Amino acid sequence: MITQSTVTEEEIARAKQISDNVLNYYNSKVVGQPFLGAAILVAMMNNGHILLESVPGLAKTTAAKVMTDAVSGTFSRIQCTPDLIPSDIVGTQIFNMSTNTFETKIGPVFANFVLLDEINRSSAKTQSAMLEAMQEHEVTIGGELFKMPDVFVVIATQNPIEQEGTYPLAEAQMDRFLLKVEVHYPTPESELEILNRIEADVFSQRASVCNIDDILFLQSISKKIYIDPAVKRYIVDIVQASRNTKTLLHPNLAQYVTMGASSRAAITFMNVAKSVALLNGRNYVTPDDVRAMRYEVLRHRIMLNYAAIADGVQEETIIDAIVGAVRTP
């Protein structure tokens, strides 16, 4: 029998203080996107990767840089283009004529936070190389193995409107992302506050509220958060329901679903729910923690057909129907 590690009140308090400091710093810089900051922090706590989808100019790059500053991490930005090749990302060997030897030049992927801007503009081969690094947390250059940093989070962006000259991510590649977040336009009040903060030059005032060791601490504590067998069953039932929509959903909705979520979705649900519980200062998971990021866990793992696009049916509508069809413990 596997025993669940206990988390002390002191550890919960420290974890809550760290997460609050990071989110408060983020919200002091980025306006109108509090959920995005929480999602990036959850990705950090699971050493996972996050896919951001929105039109340009909605502070995706800014959010990534602000979170990097908050935790004293290293940051690199890769602008994806069709002529980008794998060695531009992971690195290559360069011949040194003065020594007659090859020297390894590592690429920009070796950072705590890597922003892959417009990932769907890079070729399938380049996407594959990057996603391999994301999955294995290591790359091989010239027969030599190079490990990624202990905290390694890829924040990839894509524009859902402009698809000309792009290479859409395959379903198997999408599944590698822990979360997919859709970033929406700010409200008029938020946009006014953006202008005020730009005028006040808040982004030149950089500070760190924690360090990489603190993030490693959050990762270790998040794994120890208790999840009851009934909540695990709840997660499994949701994932199973996504694969059996014809029997569980109304035919008007079931007709749009081509493929349900993978087992990786169940693992993600559990890990993300533990992180959400920790952010809320608890050492146990509730069903609400499971549902908190249901869209972000499932929207890129449930495949809808062309009829759904034609009829304007959103992934969120299907996800709500799936979760609604499962009994809450």
The predicted model gives 299-324 an average pLDDT of: 91
Confidence bin at 323 (pLDDT 50/70/90)? very high
Question: Mean pLDDT across the chain, nearest whole number?
Answer: 89
Query: Would you list the domain boundaries of the chain?
Result: 22-201, 225-329
Could you tell me which residue, 215 or 133, shows the higher pLDDT?
A: 215
292 vs 198, more confident: 292
| Whether pLDDT at 160 is above 80 | no
Q: What pLDDT score was predicted for residue 3? A: 47
Whole-number pLDDT of residue 233:
97
Is residue 74 predicted with pLDDT exceeding 70?
Answer: yes
pLDDT in tens, 235-262: 999 999 999 988 888 888 889 999 899 9
How do strand 75-79 and strand 113-117 relate by DSSP bridges? parallel
Confidence of residue 140 (pLDDT cuts 50, 70, 90): confident
Which helix (H) or strand (E) covers residue 303, if one does?
strand 303-304
pLDDT of residue 1: 36
Helix (H) or strand (E) holding 144: strand 144-147
Rounded to 5°, angle at Cα 210 from 149 and 287 = 85
What's the Cα-to-Cα distance from 239 to each of 180, 268, 288, 298, rounded to whole Å? 17, 11, 16, 9
Task: Output 86 or 43, whichever has higher pLDDT.
Answer: 43
Q: What is the mean pLDDT of residues 93-120?
A: 86
Q: What is the mean pLDDT of residues 145-151?
A: 90
Domain topology for 225-329: Helicase, Ruva Protein; domain 3 (1.10.8)
At residue 152, what are phi and psi to the nearest 5 degrees?
-140, 105
The yes-or-no answer to whether 22-201 and 225-329 have a common fold is no
Chain center to CA of 171: 16
Q: Rounded to an integer, what distance in angstroms lies between the CA atom of residue 256 and that of residue 238?
A: 17
Q: Which of the listed CATH numbers 3.40.718.10, 3.40.50.300, 3.30.300.30, 1.20.140.160 matches domain 22-201?
A: 3.40.50.300
Q: Calculate the CA 328 to chain-centre distance.
A: 26
